[in-house]
Structure 1
Amino acid sequence: MAAIPSLPATLSPPLSGRDAVADALYRLILGLDSNDKDLFDSAITDDMAFTVNGKTTQGREAIHSELFGRIGKLDTTHHITNLRINILDGEKKASLTAIALAQHYNEGKGMAPEQPYLLIGSLYRIELVKGESDGQWRVEKFDMKTNWAQGEWSILLGN
């Protein structure tokens, strides 16, 4: 089945305030779920730190290798809710918290009956910066704490 194309990273009319901050998270997640590297990259800084349950991956190249390269090819959907956004430093920095449910299936197996899966419930804490040249919000620090999981961890771990 053909992929559904993503909207551009910069929407029209431009978003402002909390909507623009939330959009950085949405771009990151939708880029991951649709395996759209350009959309994913539009949401992160070059030196982003991504921490999952205390293990940190630092920098775009490492994140591509250890996160995007693994999860982007899976059949996934991440559902984000309960966003709370705090904009600071003259609207140049922001923080947000969110709750997420993420369903993971092996590549190409999401629609096949009786397939193993991994469903994860998590809390997110994210630090963002606003780009000076383009005004686009980007994630510079992403902390994820898994509260519970159901299913096969091997799907996510590549075992």
Structure 2
Amino acid sequence: MTKEGLFDLKLLKKNFEENEAKIFPSNFDEIKAFQDKYDVEIPLDLRNYYLEVNGSGNETLDNLYEFYSINRTKKIHEELMNWRGIPNYGNLNFVGVENVFVFGEYEFNLYAFGVELRQNISLENRIFILCGEYFRIIANSFTEFVDLYLNKPEEIYI
């Protein structure tokens, strides 16, 4: 992770604390269990996020974002295939996004955010925004996503 990534992580943690989110850092055992369960490698920036912050404490922040802990992060089809509500994620074509894991959402699942994870560490772990049957790539790493969230939130939406 770059110095900028570490700096952004501190800013993200501060943002969560200002929103009165309870911080419950993960540990290496939980990360290993996740990686073993899904046969993926978590990139360093996302791993550091789980070890330092690990979600917004199952709370929606004042800005209506919620970031999931590693124990709540799931494959896209596990999280959204049976979603009932608005938008209708049941119409999403899950082909081609099988390795995307939902790690957060905005405005009570109006938008969901997913990270593409692979068996081997990759320099690029694309971040997806999803809304019903629509999705697009909004960043090439979790660090880039955090930068957007903190500094250019208007670029996150579909």
Same topology, TM > 0.5: no
- Higher share of residues assigned strand: 1
TM-score by length of 2: 0.27
Q: Which has the higher contact order (CA 8 A, sep 6+)?
A: 1
Higher-Rg structure is: 1
TM-score norm. by structure 1 comes to 0.26
